[in-house]
Amino acid sequence: MSAAQKPKPEENLEIPEGTPEVYVDSLNVGTQLYGCTMWLGTLRAGQPPLVKVILKMSPPMVKVMSLILSKHIRNYEKDIGPITIPKTLYHSLGLEEYI
């Protein structure tokens, strides 16, 4: 991806040279009273997902992140079109009530 095609953050950020970029298509979440841990990784056929990044944050930050992501998804779908997710995936993740 060329520099012109790379998405830009909404605010001015300092991004040091060599900051890793990681693609993930797997997410596991654990919540505790004072924190949340997210294991992000990649799916592999016939094997467990391979964790690439572990994120730890406070519950308020998780909620803020959720709201920001919801805003971006809403704007994406308004501008580009709906993102379809198979109903079987919603079911397997226990997310039917959020559709």
Q: What is residue 33's DSSP assignment?
A: S
Q: Supply φ then ψ for residue 96, to 5 degrees.
A: -55, -40
Q: Supply φ then ψ for residue 14, to 5 degrees.
A: -90, 115
Q: Which residue has the tokens 């605010």?
A: 11
Model pLDDT for residues 41-89, shown as the tens digit of each residue: 999 999 999 999 999 999 999 999 999 999 999 999 999 999 999 999 9
Model pLDDT for residues 53-63, shown as the tens digit of each residue: 999 999 999 99
- Domain ranges across the chain: 20-57, 60-99
| Weakest-pLDDT range from 18-27, 45-54, 85-94 | 85-94
The pTM for the full model equals: 0.80
Secondary structure E strands in 58-97: none
Report the mean per-residue pLDDT for the chain.
Answer: 91
Residue 5 is predicted with a pLDDT of: 61
